[in-house]
Amino acid sequence: MLTSFSVTGGTSSEDLAKKIAKKLKSKFIKCELRVFPDGESKITLAGIPKGKVIVVQSIYPPVDSNLIRALSLVSQARKNSSQVYVVIPYLGYARQDRAFLPGEIITMDLVAKMFKAAGASKIIVVDIHSMIALDHLQIPATNISAVGELVKYFKKLKLKDPLVVSPDKGGIERAKHFAKNFGTDFIHLEKHRDRKTGEVTIKSTNYHEVNGRDVVLVDDMISTGGSIMKAAQYLKKQKCGKVYACCTHALLIGDAEKKLKKAGVTKIISTNSIPCKTNTVDLSPIIVKAIV
Ligand code: R5P
């Protein structure tokens, strides 16, 4: 018997949406997407959403197109339901949560307003870039952590005296949480990013703990791969063992994968918040828990 949910997913998250629908024993409504020659998205839903509607859509590249598609789905769902839950496993624009340089626009604030205006009643995100970004959302919002699921995967690997490493101070809590679940210790590196050029440097921290140990570099996302590449190069110089790159959101822009391989990364492990070949960890169980 069907529950009172119906689930739809933008084409950027269709597989994950289907998994969520299956676990909720709910109807999955397919979304057909046509992109006009000028770039506009034309969406057609293959059914009428009923009951509580779950819209699943990650906002990864093309970010602006996927954002408008998510908003369109929410707006359509709202016409048929007063309860529209929006699952945005990867929330693009969350890094624009504050102004770092004078004149910078906090676009996350606008994104939050748009979801409210479109009719979202609740938003569920996974490992959002920062709690400041979450605070911009003006409706009930839950951030769930993929760390537990990622650790389950790492527990199956036979790592040598593993050490969890955050490439920067901002990731300390994540690394701490990961290390605690994994039953090991953690350190963080000192990353500096040039706000104008985006170039990343890792400051020497004189850590000796890494010698001979397999390392799990943990971050919320890998975008260009610059942060993990520099961190891996630094750790290799310190004579660590194997380096694993672990993230929730693998954007892997351009030649990021190649760069990481060249820097000595043995394997990249990510979740299915963004469909790509490094997806090893399925988020549907923890998303369903957050919905019901
Ligand atoms: C930054 O604070 C984030 O946590 C990630 O470290 C960053 O966004 C990764 O970007 P990239 O792969 O381009 O260095």
C-alpha distance from residue 36 to each of 18, 42, 43, 122 (Å): 26, 7, 11, 31
Length of the chain: 292
List, for residues 240-249, the tens digit of each pLDDT value.
999 999 999 9
List, for residues 155-167, the tens digit of each pLDDT value.
999 999 999 999 9
Q: How are the residues of the chain apportioned to helix, strand and coil, as percentages rounded to the nearest 5? A: 35, 25, 40
Per the prediction, the chain carries an average pLDDT of 94
Closest CA to 239 of 267, 208, 266, 202: 208
* CA of residue 284 to ligand 1 center, whole Å: 24
Sign of the four-CA dihedral 275, 280, 283, 284: positive
- The phi, psi pair for 18, rounded to 5°, reads -65, -40
Assigned token pair, 36: 């006009």
Per DSSP, helices labelled H in the chain are 14-23, 63-80, 107-118, 131-136, 147-156, 172-182, 226-237, 256-262, 284-291
With helix as H, strand as E and coil as C, how does 56-103 read? ECCCCCCHHHHHHHHHHHHHHHHHHCCCEEEEECCCCCCCCCCCCCCC
Portion of the chain with pLDDT greater than 90, in percent: 87
Nearest residue (by CA) to ligand 1, atom 10, is 223
For residue 191, indicate whether it is catalytic.
yes
* CA of residue 225 to ligand 1 center, whole Å: 7
Place 4 in a pLDDT band, splitting at 50, 70 and 90.
confident
Looking up tokens 């950027």, which residue turns up?
12
Q: Please give all residues whose beta carbon lies within 6 A of any atom in ligand 1, as ranges.
A: 167, 170, 200, 219-227
- Catalytic, out of 52, 191, 230, 259: 191
Place 1 in a pLDDT band, splitting at 50, 70 and 90.
very low
Q: Name the β-bridge partners of 9.
A: 56
Which residues have CB under 8 Å from 40's CB, separation 6+?
A: none
Query: CA angle at residue 248 from 70 to 156, to 5 degrees?
Result: 140
* Residue of 93, 130, 201, 227 to mutate, ligand 1, most atoms within 8 A of C-beta: 227
List, for residues 127-148, the tens digit of each pLDDT value.
999 999 999 998 999 999 999 9
| Contact assessment for residue 95 and residue 66, using Cβ atoms and an 8 Å cutoff | no
List, for residues 189-206, the tens digit of each pLDDT value.
988 888 788 888 887 666
* CA of residue 159 to ligand 1 center, whole Å: 25
In this prediction, residue 167 carries a pLDDT of: 94
